[in-house]
Amino acid sequence: AEGGRLLDKIRKWYYNAAGFNKLGLMRDDTLHEDDDVKEALKRLPEHLYNERVFRIKRALDLSLKHQILPKDQWVKYEEDHHYLEPYLKEVIRERHEREAWNKK
């Protein structure tokens, strides 16, 4: 139990140290857009995609101005949900399935 709490504290520290949350971004907003991520993004419901685009545009604007959001608007570790993960897992599973089929 103690090891789990320590690991959670380290995760929270690293999350805040990365700094993307100070620009209003979530972890999934920062993923490198390879082919799998691009396909997962196409499958996002429109409202999730629009929210992502808004966060990225706001972060770019803040970055250009060398500013960060007020602390009360930072994305908190507990509030950062991996909205893209289920779609990405499905895309990767389908790709692996396709690759296995093509090997036959």
pLDDT digits (tens, 9 = 90+) for 53-104: 999 999 999 999 999 999 999 999 999 999 999 999 999 999 999 999 998 8
Domain regions of the chain by residue span? 2-103
**CA-based end-to-end distance of the chain:** 47
CATH class of 2-103: mainly alpha
Separation between Cα atoms, residue 46 and residue 67, nearest integer Å = 29
Q: Are 39 and 33 in contact (CB under 8 A)?
A: no
Q: Which two tokens stand for residue 17?
A: 């140290």
Predicted TM-score (pTM) of this structure: 0.87
pLDDT in tens, 2-50: 778 899 999 999 999 999 999 999 999 999 999 999 999 999 999 999 9
Distance CA 59, CA 55 (A): 6
